[in-house]
Structure 1
Amino acid sequence: MKAIIKAVGLMICLTLWFAQEGFAKKNAYQVSPVTHGGNLAGSVSFKGKVPDPILEDLNKGKNAEFCIQHPDTQEGGIRPRTKVVVTGGKLKDTVVIIENITQGKDWPAEATRFEFRNCDIFPKVTVVRKTPKGIKKGLVQIENHDPDILHNPHGYSKIGASVKTLFNKPLPNKGDVADVTKNLKRLKMKKDKHFFLQCDQHNFMEADARIVWNPYYTITAKDGTFKIDQIPAGTYRITAWHPYVVEVTREVTIPEGQNVQLDFELTAK
């Protein structure tokens, strides 16, 4: 009887495993030729009061004599940290992504690279992707550009009010590089969306990224404009995401070989 129960349990486990594997393969993005693809362009506007900058007193943190040299530092060692950049009503650094696309153009060749420089992190907003099977390095890297300053990049997945650590890598010297490609294998499509990077030594050093599952994304320029090309014909959900603004998702149909205009209006959280 015990043998039968064990056998049944094993069969259930195998069934669940194969089902999960099949689901993962079904939902995995596949690169394929795009013929007569369409293009999506538009702009992202901001409505409401722009959040005030965070006024950081650099005198109170570690390595104050160095960090206070940041070019944005004002009188008294105060550095304003602007989270939401709006110019003429247009929102910079909004990640615009196509949510429900399963095949199409190839991923960009360049890696995502964070620079720890002047006790700050650049870029402020970007994208990261889950590391695919067989890839161990080269997709996401972090470099310390500050001489004689210990930085400690700590990467998280933010899920609502909670966070989970993905990596914690000390960079004690200028020129040190942490490749965190392997650490991003833990990301889950249904769960992880917001990647947050912070320095444990200087907690005012922050950057954010949208976790993406296909290469159909872009980031708005200072004037709020964006463009995504080589889109296979179809109807898609398009999301405009900013880490400190309420995201908006809209549905749009992309005809074969056509240009489509889509504009967004976002508000503060």
Structure 2
Amino acid sequence: MKHRKFYLSLIFAAAIAFVSCGEKETTAPTETAEPGAPAAPPTPIDQATVATLTGKVSFEGAKPRLSRLMMDQDPVCVQKHSGPVLAEDGAVNDNGTLPNAFVYVKSGAEKYTFAVPSTPAELDQDGCVYRPHVLGVQVGQTLQIMTKDPTTHNIHPMPKNNREWNISQAPNAAPLEQKFSREEIMIPVKCNQHPWMKAYIGVTKNPFFAVTSSDGTFTIKGLPPGDYTIEAWTATFGTQEQKVTVGAKESKTMDFKFKSS
């Protein structure tokens, strides 16, 4: 009887060991290159015929009241500012124009293939605030993240169509470099160490995008003649679309006006 119990215990232990060896450690998914044909070469575009689109983005209605960024949890952040810092989402200039709107060619450029820029797009951290607040990159373009702050940050984009990543960056650390492999408008970015930090990244397949400057204006250059749908995105007031046809060497103006709901 004792021998029978001993052999049964050996069989049971062996079974558990077999199951344990079959288990695999799970890790967060990583983005890999999609199989298929090599990337097509850039489509030749006659630069003598390209068009330019300029305009402004504005808001009509009562201006939202901007909240104060509460940085008290990290004295280092407070010390880098001479006074209160206000949130940038919903900011409206006195003349009604909107900074930080992302304007891009939503459709019409699909027949073209574009080279990936060799120059990185840059996202800086200064005073525990992301700079710029809104930026654009092309698919496959390097995004370089830097810091000027004497405190640790945690850069955490939260995409829906791209790989999510979450990386700490210590003071005086070397710039971080990342890429996005899929088009996505927009990707919010936060910092897990400083919850008030916020930025937005627009990832496009074409180079035809712009972020409105402090006066609410934008310029998109190099458009081949054709028909396009242009979208203006804002963090607070939503999006708007307009269609436009540009001819060879033509300069056109397109304005967007958002209204309070």
1:167-217 Cα deviation digits (max 9, x unpaired): 111112323321112xx22x3x4xx32111111111111111222110011
| TM-score, with structure 2 as normaliser | 0.76
Give aligned pairs, total.
223
Q: Percent identity?
A: 23
Distance in 1 between the 2:171 and 2:260 partners? 38
Q: Go from structure 1 to structure 2 and tell me whether the alpha carbon gap of 1:86 and 1:230 turns closer, same or farther (over 3 Å shift).
A: same
Structure 1 pair 166–98 and aligned structure 2 pair: CA distance change class (3 A): same
2:158 maps to which of 133, 156, 159: 156
Contact 1:129–1:212 (CA under 8 A) maintained in structure 2:
yes
Conserved? CA contact 2:92–2:99, under 8 Å? yes
TM-score (norm 1): 0.73
Instruction: Give 1:49 shift.
Output: 2.4
Q: Which residue of 2 aligns with 1:146?
A: 149
Flag the 1:158–1:91 CA change in 2: closer, same or farther, 3 A: farther
User: Which residue type is aligned with residue 49 of structure 1?
Assistant: A
Of residues 71, 86, 95, the one that matches 2:92 is 86
Q: Offset at 1:57?
A: 2.6
Q: 2:45 aligns with which of 33, 51, 54?
A: 33
What 5-or-longer segments of structure 1 have no aligned partner? Answer: 1-19, 132-137
Partner in structure 2 of residue 170 of structure 1: 168
Q: Are the aligned partners of 1:52 and 1:82 in contact in 2 as well (CA < 8 Å)?
A: no
SS in 2 for 1:193: strand
* Conserved? CA contact 2:116–2:139, under 8 Å: no
| Distance of 1:29 and 1:242 partners within structure 2 | 33
Closer/same/farther in 2, CA of residues 265 and 118 from structure 1, 3 Å limit: same
2:45, 2:224 within 8 Å by CA — same for their partners in 1?
A: no
From the superposition, tell whether residues 140 and 235 of structure 1 become closer, same or farther in structure 2 (CA, over 3 Å): same
Aligned to 1:53: 66
Q: Structure 1 residues 237 and 143 mapped into 2: Cα distance closer, same or farther (>3 Å)?
A: same
User: In the alignment, which residue of structure 2 is the partner of 1:224?
Assistant: 216
| Secondary structure of 1:86 counterpart | coil
Give the counterpart letter for 2:169 in structure 1.
L
Higher helix share: 1
8 Å Cα contact 1:246/1:268 also seen in 2: no
User: Contact between 1:44 and 1:264, CA under 8 Å: does it hold in 2?
Assistant: yes
Asked if 1:68 corresponds to 2:78, the answer is: yes
Give the superposition deviation at 1:55.
2.1
**Could you say which structure has the larger radius of gyration?**
2
**In the aligned structure 2, how far is the partner of 1:40 from the partner of 1:58?**
39
Pair 72,106 (structure 1): closer, same or farther in 2 beyond 3 Å: farther
More strand by share: 1
What RMSD over aligned residues (CA atoms) do the two structures have, in Å? 2.7
- 5 Å-filtered alignment, 1:198-209, equals 198-209=190-201
Q: Where does structure 2 lack aligned partners over 5 or more consecutive residues?
A: 1-34
